[in-house]
Amino acid sequence: MTQQELDILLDPSIRTLVEQNIDRPATEVALRLNSPHRALIATQIKYLSRARTKLPSYYAAHCILPDLAFEQSSSEAAAATKRHSGELAIDLTCGLGVDSLYLSKRFDRVVSIERNPVLARLAEENFRRLGAGNIEVVCSSAEEFLARFEGKADLIYADPDRRSSDGRKLVLLEECSPNVLALRERLESITPRIVLKLSPMFDTTEAVRLFEPCEIEAVSDAGECKELVVEFGCEVKRNLRRATITSAASVEVEPAGWYDDGQEFRAEEYRYLVASDVALRKAGVAADYMVGKVDFITSPNGYAFTREPINDAMLKCREIECIEPFDPKALRRRLKQQGIKRADILKRDFRMSSAELARALGVSEGGSHSIAFTEVRGTRWQIILK
């Protein structure tokens, strides 16, 4: 968003047009609204419509939403999982300000750093609309702010920009901005706890290598990992893993390093298939969490089996109709005889993709019939689920 576009959207008459047309389709507004700024107004309406579920507070306050900042922002559901509290938190990467907003609910004061002057001004306006009066927005780079900051903070939070200036996706943490690795000594001189949000695709073993001891939290929503957060600093004394499902559950697990104890796999005895939530798997403690709760675990991130149902928000338990050695030709014939043309293909630790399995079985992916596939000590199994 440019400074000119922001000035237009801050005009009271333009805000009135946005509010008058907020329930109309954005495409209709772009084509029919009698205003020279109808394209810009339509874009705001499009993103406000999307904000109804991702950023409901921003929608309710009719905030200004730049497209790129909106796409890159945390959801409010994920931001609401923050646990820390205290007097002062510093957010080194304000952006749209969702994380700062939720920090402000738990801290007396938040200083939010934004290097882009347009986004800084926009964040100030949105915080005013949201009623977040305890957030101070500072237009500066993180490096410049830290160099001149005097005092202490209870927490420093950062979500480094993972895109280069030309839009290229960055992989290495030291390439992201701000470079937390280069700033680590300075950060630790200001606060006992640093919370760093990483890409959901970031390797947790690499996070441990870089920051041990550290606490790692994976946050999931609707079966998808939305955030991976690593916390380090002088107050972090142990390696702890946390798996959180937004608005559902959060568990802490100390990684013990699960290993296969050689227990016999009694396929005919198991009545339920258990799948761990993606947050447990991303945190690397799925098997550690399931020990003592299930009868058999296939692998660190694989399925588990049990004789009795489990009621646990972190574990999805499905009743089994039958477990058989993998025989795609026989299974294909059976599905054809039963008139089943679509099946939900589930798999863990299996050397065929879902698409390959669907082709081998002669079905399309999806539908109400579920079949799971896994491998246990070199033997492949097909699991028909009720």
Question: Domain residue spans in the chain?
Answer: 3-54, 72-253, 326-386
Polymer length of the chain? 386
Given 3.40.50.150, 2.30.30.90, 2.60.40.10, 3.40.190.10, which CATH number is that of 72-253? Answer: 3.40.50.150
Rounded CA Rg of the chain: 25
**Would you state the pLDDT for residue 261?**
83
**Would you state the pLDDT for residue 25?**
93
- DSSP assignments along 12-60, one per residue: HHHHHHHHHTTTS-HHHHHHH-SSTTHHHHHHHHHHHHHHHHH-HHHHH
* Rounded to 5°, angle at Cα 201 from 197 and 206: 75
How many C-beta neighbours within 10 Å does residue 376 have? 18
Quick: pLDDT tens for 16-28: 999 999 999 999 9
3-class SS at 67? helix
3-class SS at 358? helix
Q: What is the pTM of this model?
A: 0.90
**Would you state the pLDDT for residue 386?**
94
3-class SS at 253? strand
Q: How far is CA 100 from the centre of its chain?
A: 17
* Rounded to 5°, angle at Cα 237 from 231 and 238: 80
Selected residue with higher pLDDT from 203 and 100: 100
Closest CA to 292 of 280, 279, 306: 306
Closest CA to 19 of 36, 33, 3, 4: 33
Residue 145 near residue 92 (C-beta atoms within 8 A): yes
* Residue range 190-203: mean pLDDT, rounded: 94
* Residue range 163-168: mean pLDDT, rounded: 73
In the chain the beta strands, taken as DSSP E runs, fall at: 86-91, 107-114, 135-139, 155-158, 194-198, 215-221, 224-232, 240-245, 249-253, 272-276, 296-297, 304-306, 315-325, 342-347, 364-376, 379-385
Closest CA to 64 of 154, 149, 125: 125
Which CA distances in Å does 103 have to 133, 190, 369?
12, 18, 43
Quick: pLDDT tens for 256-315: 888 888 899 999 999 999 999 999 999 999 999 999 999 999 999 999 999 999 999 999
Residue 160 near residue 202 (C-beta atoms within 8 A): no
Asked if the model's pLDDT at residue 163 lies above 90, the reply is no
Quick: pLDDT tens for 170-188: 778 888 899 999 999 999 9
Quick: pLDDT tens for 56-96: 999 999 999 999 899 989 899 999 999 999 999 999 999 99
